[in-house]
Structure 1
Amino acid sequence: MKRYLTRLPAMAAAVCSVATLAACGTDDAGTSSTSKPAEAKKKLKVAMVTDIGGLNDRSFNALAYKGLKDAKSQLGVDIRAVTSKSNADYVPNLSSLARQKYDVVFAVGFLMAEATDKVAKSFPDTKFAIIDFSAAGLKSKPKNVQGLLFKENEAGYLAGYMAGLYVKDKGGEQVISTVGGQKIPPVDGYIAGYQAGAKAANPAIKTLNGYSQDFVDQAKCKELALNQIGEGSQVVFQVAGQCGLGAVDAAKEKSVLAIGVDSDQGYLGKQMLTSALKRIDKAVLSTVTEVQGDAYKGGQDTLFDAKTDGVGLGKVNADGEKLLPKVEEVKKQIASGEVTDIPAEVK
């Protein structure tokens, strides 16, 4: 029986009715239940705007949407998800939802910071939450934006520790690698942690890294991964959303191992050593719960880490199973503060 470091419910494919918003991109609206949950203070309207990866990226955006659906089923809220086709869609999509009086609007991703800052300033009565960006880091410091942050470096460290142990036991070229989407803090947090964890487990290891400059085009990530495998990489960690699925495919094609990102991607095949998780679904659900309970933290950040089970590892394959006890011990050390100073920047 496969074991888990962090139990994450499997994501179902997001299927919902399509309606048209007075905005760019496409829109997925959840139909609400006819019966109101007991003791609910208010029937909230909750929405999210994806980045260009869309709801079917099987990673970042899909997890945020899962959190929205969990809020619908557990809290009885009405939900809507709007998909952005390009960066130019962010401001009109966020603005449209604010005009429609949604109680809280989630901006999914670091790259939406400028748009979120602009729209939040224009709609001060609407509550916003942005994933992977600090509220304090927004230019106008709006009090109606809550930052949802994750210690990706801790999840990366655990994944790297397992990868380092794997190649040490396997022998051969002591090389592992990472394929990042863009050089931005959430991506580099994973990568820096991965490199540090691998070296802690296996000081002789060599780490390779490259950026596709894309979070969608799988061919770009596959090409990077194939080049890294050609240089001896035995484990490829994809940190590039939908694009990174190409890196996973390269690992399968060349009979090496891969590590997924954000969501549990173990279902992609036996080549998946594990996945580095961040519980975006948990962050979305907890934020909606706070809004419903009049405890919204506008102008502040909420941090999700190993101690709060906000980051961790997903399913492991047969190769990872025998390494799991050592990695679980390391997770306990991170959560207790025994392991500290995990880097979050790639040098």
Structure 2
Amino acid sequence: MLGIATLVAGCASAPEEDGEAGGEKLDFLPCMVSDAGGFDDKSFNQLGFEGLQAAAEELGVEYKEVESQAETDYASNINGLVDQGCNAIVSVGFLLAPAALEAAQANPDIDFISIDDPIDQDGDGETDAENIKPIIFDTAQAAFLAGYLSAGVTKTGAVGTFGGANIPTVSIFMDGFKQGVDHYNEENGTQVKVLGWDGTDGSFTGGFEANDTARQIAQGLIDQNIDVLLPVGGPIYQSAAAAIEDSGREIALIGVDADVFETDPSVGPLLLTSIRKGMDVGVHEAIVEAGNGEFDPTPFIGTLENEGVGLAPFHDWESKVPAELADKLDELRQAIIDGDIAVESYLAG
């Protein structure tokens, strides 16, 4: 339904049994370092970690992961994995890019996989090291559909969004969301407002933690009579859900990265949909390729066309979404794929 993404893209304990590859134990150690959201964020980091686990199981090897507590941990965590003999290192998130690049350049024999950043620090359109594979997502395309959907179900005429930090991998969701609402207004002669993002700046918590700041920003948007809310930034959706529940109003929540209905059933009744990124399969495939000696640094860019991004099902909200609106989303998805509708983003080309 509705372009659902079919991609299923301290150290933890390693598997106790050694696997076999071609009858012999594979000499390969894949590793991952999280951003400050942690591997239990039920979203961004968790999805990437699931890809690592699936790849290690398929290859029959152990793995290592290290969880960052703050941005200051990124470089030391990556270098620590280098020192532990990792053959492939996945860095989860835009903010890890500088540390990942430095380590990749210093260790050309290690394969690096960068989630959510092309690692093009000099801006020449090319990844800055030959041993880095970017896994990135044009989530504006799927967010456009979520914005159109939100404008179609709102009863108050106002929808809201806020993010963890004003960085491209966060604002790309907000850009697409606003474009989708604007498109709905143009087609239907309505004036649905988007609060929390004006196309350049908006409401941000300054981090990716579920905390009072996130809850207060969500509450501020709720106080402005929004009835659909898109929080972008891993676990900050938990604070948004708490504010929605306290309001006593019917306010729809939109998840990001994973299908949050599946990863966190506690907020399931609130979820209109989720803007899905196939990080788990992207990581899985890249690690398996590296483990088999077939590492390919060609960037993967998830789009609606290759199903790297998409909308999750409506789940509990399905009966509240008019059939004609659901059909329209299918039409819009195809129009974006065909190039009849251009969704602007920093990855669009």
Aligned partner (choices 338, 341, 346) of residue 340 of structure 2 = 338
Of residues 109, 116, 131 in structure 2, which corresponds to 1:144?
A: 131
Q: Quick one: structure 1 residues 320 and 102, their matched pair in 2 at CA, closer, same or farther if it must change by over 3 Å?
A: farther
Secondary structure of the structure 1 residue equivalent to 2:128: coil
Match of 1:304 in 2: 302
Q: Deviations over 1:290-320 (max 9, x none)?
A: 213433234x422111111111111312324
Is residue 2:123 matched to residue 1:133? no
CA contact (8 A) 1:192 1:344 kept: no
Matched to 1:6, the amino acid is: I
CA distance in 2, matches of 1:62, 1:138: 30
CA distance in 2, matches of 1:138, 1:87: 22
- 1:321 Cα offset (Å): 6.7
Match of 1:153 in 2: 140
Name which of 88, 100, 111 aligns with 1:116: 100
Could you tell me which runs of 5 or more consecutive residues in structure 2 were left unpaired when the two chains were aligned: 197-202
> Pick from 34, 59, 73: which aligns with 1:50?
34
What's the secondary structure of 1:137's corresponding residue? coil
* Offset at residue 232 of structure 1 (A): 1.6
Q: Are 1:97 and 2:95 counterparts?
A: no
Change (3 A) 1:207 1:120: same
Per-residue deviation, residues 91-128 of structure 1 (Å, max 9, x unmatched): 11111211222111001000011111222222222111
Asked if structure 1 preserves the Cα contact closer than 8 Å seen for 2:336 and 2:343, the reply is no
The one of 198, 214, 220 aligned to 1:221: 214
The question of whether the paired residues in 2 share the 8 Å contact of 1:45 and 1:104 is answered with yes
Superposition deviation, residue 251 in structure 1:
2.3
- Aligned equivalents of 1:112 and 1:80: distance in 2? 17
Whether the aligned pair in 2 keeps the contact of 1:114 and 1:138 (CA below 8 Å) is no
Q: Distance in 2 between matches of 1:220 and 1:10?
A: 32
Q: Which moved more, 1:198-207 or 1:318-327?
A: 318-327
Matching of residue 262 in structure 1 with residue 257 in structure 2 = yes
Match of 2:240 in 1: 247
- State which of 174, 187, 206 in structure 2 corresponds to 1:191: 174
1:162-189: CA deviations, max 9, x gaps? 101112xxx4x31111011100001010
CA deviation after TM superposition for structure 1 residue 38, in Å: 4.5
Residue 341 of structure 1: how far off its partner (Å): 3.5
Deviation, structure 1 residue 219:
1.9
Kept in 1, the 8 Å contact 2:138–2:345? The answer is no
Q: 2:287 — aligned with what?
A: 288
Q: CA deviation at 1:137?
A: 2.8
Q: Which has the higher strand share?
A: 1
Q: What residue in structure 2 maps to residue 21 of structure 1?
A: none
> How far, CA to CA, are the matches of 2:22 and 2:306 in structure 1?
28
Structure 1 window deviating more from structure 2 (72-81 vs 180-189): it is 72-81
Q: 1:217 touches 1:242 (CA, 8 Å); kept in 2?
A: yes
* Deviates most, 314-323 or 81-90: 314-323
Deviations 1:176-207 (A, max 9, x none): 11011100001010000000011212341110
Q: Percent identity?
A: 26
Q: How many residue pairs align between the two structures?
A: 324
Runs of 4+ in structure 1 off by over 6 angstroms are 8-11
CA deviation map 1:255-307 (0-9, x unaligned): 21110111111222211110111111011012112213433234x42211111
Q: How does 1:21-36 map to 2 (within 5 A)?
A: 26-31=10-15, 33-36=17-20
Q: Which amino acid aligns with 2:243?
A: A
**3-state secondary structure, aligned to 1:30:** coil
1:324–1:39 Cα change, 3 Å? farther
In the other structure, the counterpart of 2:312 is 314
Change (3 A) 1:303 1:98: same
What is the letter of the counterpart of residue 136 of structure 1? Answer: D
Q: TM-score, normalised by structure 2?
A: 0.85
Report the Cα distance in structure 2 between the residues aligned to 1:328 and 1:281, rounded to whole angstroms: 24
Describe the shift of the 1:200–1:344 C-alpha distance in structure 2 as closer, same or farther (beyond 3 A).
Answer: farther
Alpha-carbon offset, residue 234 of structure 1: 1.1
C-alpha distance in structure 2 between counterparts of 1:34 and 1:138, whole Å: 42
Q: Which secondary structure does the structure 2 equivalent of 1:260 belong to?
A: strand
List alignment gaps of at least 5 residues for structure 1.
12-25
CA distance in 1, matches of 2:116, 2:7: 21
**Aligned amino acid, residue 260 of structure 2:** Q
The aligned amino acid for 2:255 is G
